[in-house]
Structure 1
Amino acid sequence: MPPETDARVARANQLIDDEPTAAHPRGPFGRMEQLCSALSRHLPARGVGVSVLTEDTYSGGTVAASDAVSRRLDELQFTLGEGPCIDAYATRRPVFEPDLFGHGSSRWPGYAAAAQDEGVRAVFAFPLTIGTARAGALDVYRTQPGPLTKGAVSQAMTFAEIAMGLLLDTQAESTTGSERSADLDDALAYRLEVYQAQGMVMVDLGVSLDEAMVRLRAHAYANDRSLADVARDVVQGSLRMSQDNP
């Protein structure tokens, strides 16, 4: 890395190190939550969340967040199938929405309305990438509309770079049999359930895979539940989708 990059990453890591650890779990996701809290505090922002996604963006999971509201807003994107995290991952570029009341409402109608209900007025997403690899996105939530400064964008991108490194470290640990290797699998275990539920709904209703996912998301949204919880109920047999159900 160039010296200025080294210094920038070192400063960001120091802010993460200085963040209190008592409220966070041990292991890589404990540090990821420290990262979210540190960025939220120093940017400043209403909150920060980090999520990982699959290639088709049908499912994903929030692995860390600075607070409960940020976690809910990150997770809601997977229920609705829309939002800054998904767009940043898909395009591999930062996504800036400084006005959720205006342009954001047409960009992500369901998500923007839910974010506004939580007092969020602007959201910015930074993809987690290295080379051609991508893993997810880091979302920044703010209560005031308006763009980020250049300095804030640079700081958020640095934290996204560190977050990607933490995910890669976790993945590397999973190949060594370390006790930390289960963390990522546990955080994203419901991916398989989402795919299983999608297939079951496709067969039950005689619809396409895409339509099956739409049905699952519609049911989750209509009942104020997460996509993961609805998928689990379908797989376990406690929920049977019908033509008239969401």
Structure 2
Amino acid sequence: MNLKNAVVVVTGAASGLGLATCQRLAAAGARVVGFDLDQSKLSEALGREMMAIAVDVANESSVKEGIDAVVDRYGAIHVAVNCAGILGPCKTVSKGQLFPSDVWNRVLSVNLTGTFNVIRHAALAMTHNEPAETGERGVIINTSSGAARQGQMGQAAYSASKAGVIGMTLPIARDLAEHGIRVVSVAPGLFESGMSAGMPPKVSDALVEKMLFPRRMGKPDEFAALVEHIIGNAYLNALTIDMDCGTR
């Protein structure tokens, strides 16, 4: 997929990995549209060069309206990058209290169902694209997490949601192969973001100590660089790429 003038939708675009992805892909010549809940924060982050649309990925009607607005504006969608996500940390049982079911449902609705909402509606739009010479019509990139396989204490909902992203990558790639649409997920380790900033220092420091080289948090632009490579490398499909600096 050639990024020059490609129409790209990025969720969770107001900060962190999503914002870095928007900035990098726009610099590469793509027409970038950012989705996020906070319209004012999103517009300020993206500036005038990129289109900003308030979208709640957990709400299917909101996603459809956002995707329709992009197609109305640009006539197509070529790439969708799912970066929207929330943590919802809570222990299964703590101080005699159960993990609140509303927290569980919210984390799953944003991280897993929200990702699938965007995949479905973006994929439908991509099926209408004229195929490139290679037959490719679109690329979908999802954000999982190292927590999908090695979740920390209090991450039951988050880990389950991110494991679900990994689990649906292959079947969705199989579903969309006939349309010339690739599906790849990335499982980042500990990156500099709003999520990591909310961690207690002793938790983030302990995770950094488990890394190999370089022993530090990942930088959002490093994630964005991988996204750019996935878009351009037509042989990457139906897999999840761990990006965790060997954290174990």
TM-score range, shorter chain: under 0.3
From the CA coordinates, give the structure whose radius of gyration is larger: 1
More helix by share: 1
**Which of structures 1 and 2 has the larger relative contact order (alpha carbons within 8 angstroms, sep 6+)?**
2
